[in-house]
A and B are shown apart, each in its own frame.
Chain A
Amino acid sequence: EPEVTQTPSHQVTQMGQEVILRCVPISNHLYFYWYRQILGQKVEFLVSFYNNEISEKSEIFDDQFSVERPDGSNFTLKIRSTKLEDSAMYFCASSSRTRTVYGYTFGSGTRLTVV
């Protein structure tokens, strides 16, 4: 069964440093997403991406965040200057269409720890 792959599985970074979280969505999917989950809390939407541009972003997704699909296969989330409160599990997801019958496929997540 096709999978969404995320790397790294765990990243520790110092406050103020830039991090790039990487995702390889399912190859024939066209819609890509990032979500995050702070420990013990619910999963929160960050951003959706279609046709090489952001289609929606949440209030969390401020100027410190950016997404890119640099080469047609990878989908990245960059946090320019990390803060302690950015510590969370970050999930990438993809779907074949927004009103999908089959649901999304989520990756297994990257646990980001900012120290």
Chain B
Amino acid sequence: SQQGEEDPQALSIQEGENATMNCSYKTSINNLQWYRQNSGRGLVHLILIRSNEREKHSGRLRVTLDTSKKSSSLLITASRAADTASYFCAALGGSNTGKLIFGQGTTLQVKP
């Protein structure tokens, strides 16, 4: 399987609930980034976690990184209908070219 596998592929929750998305990668990384994409629109950078960090918070977002398991998770707390979007993890490897390897993404639907 390819680098940047995410699960679940689709997630449907009620407003106010928490949403957790997981991402796994294959090779060593420099950092791992999470992006949001509204349907048919551009990619919005949400949060970045470096390989020497284990957890990071930004507002309602919490990201964890487990380099021993080569996995990361994104938690959105107290979800809102406006959080409905696709969420992608992207791994920055050790090369100097800055190439990002994206996951397949999780489509999140938050029902009002």
Contact = CB atoms under 8 A, between A and B. Distances in A.
Interface of A: 31, 33, 35, 41-45, 48, 50, 55-56, 89, 91, 93, 95, 97-109, 111
Nearest to B50: A101
B99 A45 contact: yes
5 contacts: A35-B100, A42-B103, A50-B98, A56-B99, A99-B92
B102 A106 contact: no
Given A43-B43, A98-B96, A109-B42, A103 B102 contact: no
A31 B105 CA distance: 25
Q: Most A CB atoms within 10 A — which of B31, B48, B90, B100?
A: B100
Nearest to A111: B40
Interface of B: 4, 30-31, 33, 35, 40-45, 48, 50, 88, 90, 92, 95-105
A96 to B, nearest CB: 10
Given A42-B104, A106-B43, A109-B41, A56 B48 contact: no
A31 B99 CA distance: 10
A103 B48 contact: yes
A45 B3 CA distance: 13
Given A31-B98, A111-B40, 9 more contacts: A42-B105, A50-B97, A56-B99, A91-B42, A98-B97, A102-B48, A104-B98, A104-B100, A108-B41
Contacts of A41: 104
Contacts of A44: 102
A45 B101 contact: yes
A103 B99 contact: no
Contact of A55 (B88, B97, B102): B97
A56 B94 CA distance: 13
A42 to B, nearest CB: 5
A106 B43 CA distance: 6
A43 B88 contact: yes
A9 to B, nearest CB: 10
